[in-house]
Amino acid sequence: MHTIAIDPETLERVTRWRGKDHMFEDIDPARTALVVIDMQNGFTEAGSEMEVPESREIVPNINRLSAAMAEAGGLNVFVYFVVDDETPKNWSTWLGYFCTAERGDNAKALFAPGAHGGAIASDLVVRPGDLMVPKSRFSALVPGSSDLHAQLQARGIDTVIITGTVTNCCCESTARDAMQMDYKVIFVADGTAALSDADHNATLNNMVSIFADVMTTDEIVGFLAAAPQRIAAE
């Protein structure tokens, strides 16, 4: 598990700006989606070209969160990355410049439609009724990547809880776009995984400064458990 290190001065500043430690603690499960980003074999399996070792460590926390969401009546969404025949044409900058030819070929093989690498990791609990959403870019919300926004809007969702991998790529990209599309964004400090503590904590500092309410799994589970009593009292 990553060692979490959010700058104390940053926390003091944003708490002063917002007037509280957590601005989205009043979670309404009926309007909230847990969005699990790219927890696929191609990222979680040892020895994979795209392996993120820490992604295996966050599986228990994601399972706790998805169980709490299901119990509270919220929505679980599993977003998964697909590289299809259109990707080399529609996203040539990524494959042509950010990847060597070998890495690009490996990515196309790993995440081709139906490939083993693209499947959701088997130790994640997926329930009947959970939403499965393919995406074709790092962000699930950038135009042309997926229909996630339409799916969430159709269900009246206004809050997203971001988990998965990679913290500083697909998770951060989706969270940034979500906030700018007027979603309330909660970013899970111990439910996201990067290739290093430095990468992970850089994103957490960016998230808490500007884009999201950064919480731990324990905090979110606690807020979800308290939601029925709080909503009944309102």
Could you tell me the domains of the chain? 24-81+121-233 (3.40.50.850)
Report yes or no: 148 and 140 within 8 Å, Cβ to Cβ.
yes
In the prediction, which pLDDT does 94 show?
A: 87
Looking at this protein, which amino acid is placed at residue 33? A
pLDDT at 27: 93
Cβ atoms of 106 and 118 closer than 8 Å:
no
pLDDT of residue 219: 96
| Rounded Cα distance, 158 and 178, in Å | 10
Q: pLDDT by residue (tens digit) across 150-173?
A: 999 999 999 999 999 999 999 999
Query: Rounded to the nearest 10 degrees, how much is the dihedral formed by the CA atoms of 163, 167, 170, 174?
Result: 60
Residue type, 229: Q
Quote the pLDDT of residue 137: 95
Q: Is the peptide bond before 166 cis (omega within 30 degrees of 0)?
A: yes
For the chain, list residues with pLDDT below 70.
234
Alpha-carbon distance of 158 to 164, in angstroms, equals 20
- Helices 217-233, 59-72: axis angle to 10 degrees equals 10
Residue-level pLDDT at 107: 86
Q: Give the pLDDT of residue 163.
A: 98
pLDDT in the model for residue 47: 92
Q: Which residue has the tokens 């939403």?
A: 131
Burial of 232 (0-12, 13-18, 19+ CB in 10 A): exposed
Q: What is the pTM of this model?
A: 0.95
